Amino acid sequence: MDDKININWYPGHMTKAVREMEQNIKLIDIVIEILDARIPFSSRNPIMDKLAMGKYRLMIMNKSDLADPSILKKWEKYYEEMGIKTISIDSRVTKNARNITPVVMDICKEKLERDKRRGLLKRPVKAMIVGIPNVGKSTFINSYAGRASAKTGNKPGVTKGVQWIRLGNDIDLLDTPGVLWPKFEDKQIGINLALIGSVNDNIISKYDLSILLIDYLENNYCGILSKRYNIEEVKDANEVLLEIADVRKCVLKGGEPDIEKAASILIDDLRNGSLGRISLETPQH
């Protein structure tokens, strides 16, 4: 089935965004990469390693309220063992977003001490917020700032250009547009990104995606679909989708089940947490 899905979405504005990020990188002390806590591997953009070379780094596993807590713990351990500092948060909450301040200060402490030794006035740490589309970069910034400074929305590609959010205290934040990389080396990465809404929904078949999701849920979260839709979890994913269409009264004009609509309902329920806390990938070791 996943042979049918070939996701490649690299619109022109992403090339422009990467160029803008490269132009600004010399001003930056720390690169804060926002990941989606449900796919902490697939949501890492490999181009960030090059961009952030020589800079302090922090990774935020955002939307942790939607991820499976036990699997998220494994990912925290996975990155910790790689020597990468992570914080898992629901960034819609201001308190959570601001909790990163002491962590950032600690990561940047050598620079802060160096500035102090040189007699430089206390300058705000300059942080670039990066990440793939729709992971919550602007939401994090707004929560942190305590005001709606950056536009947000539940679809990819909301932020169009880089924008400084000056907070007038310890940290200045640079919001950036979500960027992907030109080619997904592994198909599963593309599927995971599509499931969480980081690639444009118009370029994929929700039907194909939902069939893969149903198989995944039956193997990893058995019972979750019957609980949500009050249906029998039968073997064949297509039948499960038909049952969802039936329960949710998704019917086409001629009386046929509207299976595309059922697929949309299922994927939306995954994205907004109505199915429960679900992780789509687990560390390999």
Residues that bind Mg ion (CB under 5 A): 137-138, 158-159
Spatial CA neighbour of 7 closest among 216, 184, 211, 197:
184
Nearer to ligand GTP, 91 or 241 (CB): 91
**Tokens 């929904």 appear where?**
201
Q: Least distance in Å: CB of 221 to ligand GTP?
A: 18
Half-sphere exposure in the Cβ direction for 5 (13 Å, CA): 27
The partner in contact with residue 157, picked from ligand GTP, Mg ion, none with C-beta cut-offs of 5 to 8 angstroms by kind, is ligand GTP
Residue 148 CA: distances (Å) to CA of 5, 36, 91, 168: 37, 21, 13, 16
The partner in contact with residue 63, picked from ligand GTP, Mg ion, none with C-beta cut-offs of 5 to 8 angstroms by kind, is ligand GTP
Task: Reduce the DSSP state of residue 191 to 3 states and report it.
Answer: helix
Q: Least distance in Å: CB of 152 to Mg ion?
A: 6
Nearer to Mg ion, 89 or 217 (CB): 89
Nearer to Mg ion, 45 or 138 (CB): 138
Q: How many CB atoms lie within 10 A of CB 168?
A: 8
**Calpha distance 158→172 (Å, rounded):** 21
Residues lying near ligand GTP in the complex (CB under 6 A): 62-63, 65-66, 90-92, 131, 133-139, 152-154, 156-159, 177-178
The partner in contact with residue 162, picked from Mg ion, ligand GTP, none with C-beta cut-offs of 5 to 8 angstroms by kind, is none
Nearer to Mg ion, 71 or 150 (CB): 150
